[in-house]
Amino acid sequence: MIVLANDGISPSGENKLKEYGYTVVTETVPQEDLIKYINDNKVAAILVRSATTVRKNIIDSCPSLKFIGRGGVGMDNIDVEYARSKGLTVNNTPAASSQSVAELVLAQMLSISRFTHLANKEMPENGDSDFKSLKKKYAKGVELRGKTLGIIGFGRIGQSLAKYALGCGMKVIAVDRNPIPTIIELEFFNGQKINLEIEDKTLDEVYEQSDYISLHIPKQENGSAVISEKEILKMKDGVRIINAARGGVIDEDAILAAVNSGKISFCALDVFENEPNPRKDLLVNTNITTTPHIGAATLEAQERIGIELADKVFECLSK
């Protein structure tokens, strides 16, 4: 049987699929050619990340397809319920990349607190000739310790981020559509463990009380933004916002206007409404730091994702 890893798979995942006896194709098939390729080669499983979509037309047109796998958390690029109603197995890997996304958010929080995203651009050009003025320019950073981090969406990623923030001395408050775990266990390298408390808040309380806000929620079913102009007006002046969840959960027009006005002091974006062609005015704004949707893109996470997907493919196709 053929497994099409259309957005790639880690070497360990590919090797494990081959050990299970599958033929693995890792060359990317263009979206418009997927139906023909799947049917011509009787592909039994397709593995995707965020680039490839698996919609109703593919599900209806490809009778050989038994399994759809998403490497990562969100599955908004797959018609999940429709596929399952047609008897296909659809799985993702929600736990495999939690740590990686949380670490990127922490890096973004530090960057927008100490201006490293800006200093790193200016130092190569002007550091040798303008060192003193650059030192003065970037000498008004802030510390994470003592600040309040509001986490919107307190699943695996939100909880992983909370542990890092607590380790930095931040107060963590959170909101989720489900009751949140109010005690987080921090485990250290030497086996020591401590429990720390998380405050369960409403959305409005998160908006009103947070110095930093990080989103960890799926794209909304109705396509609406969770943070738009109305929500921004409820926030503290100078709030910092990080989005490594999904493009569209924040209104980019509203975010840009608030950054330009100073209501939001800095913003960090790993995801965008119009991927893979994000709007230029976000990318060039000096108070917005951007990364190209790399939250889960660590070597460790990709290894975990590949192995987990391989096991899930085998579990499905061996029945």
Active site residues per annotation: 246, 275, 293
DSSP assignment string, the chain: -EEEETT---HHHHHHHHHTT-EEE-SPPPGGGHHHHHHHHTEEEEEE-SS--B-HHHHHH-TT--EEEESSS--TTB-HHHHHHTT-EEEE-TTTTHHHHHHHHHHHHHHHHHTHHHHHHHHHHHTTTSHHHHHHHT-----STTPEEEEE--SHHHHHHHHHHHHTT-EEEEE-SSPPPSEEEEE-TTS-EEEEE-EE--HHHHHHH-SEEEE--PPPTT---SB-HHHHTTSPTTEEEEE-S-TTSB-HHHHHHHHHHTSEEEEEES--TTTTS--HHHHS-TTEEE-SS-TT-SHHHHHHHHHHHHHHHHHHHT-
CA distances from 217 to 104, 151, 152, 251 (A): 16, 10, 7, 14
Q: What span, in angstroms and rounded, lies between the C-alpha atoms of 153 and 94?
A: 14
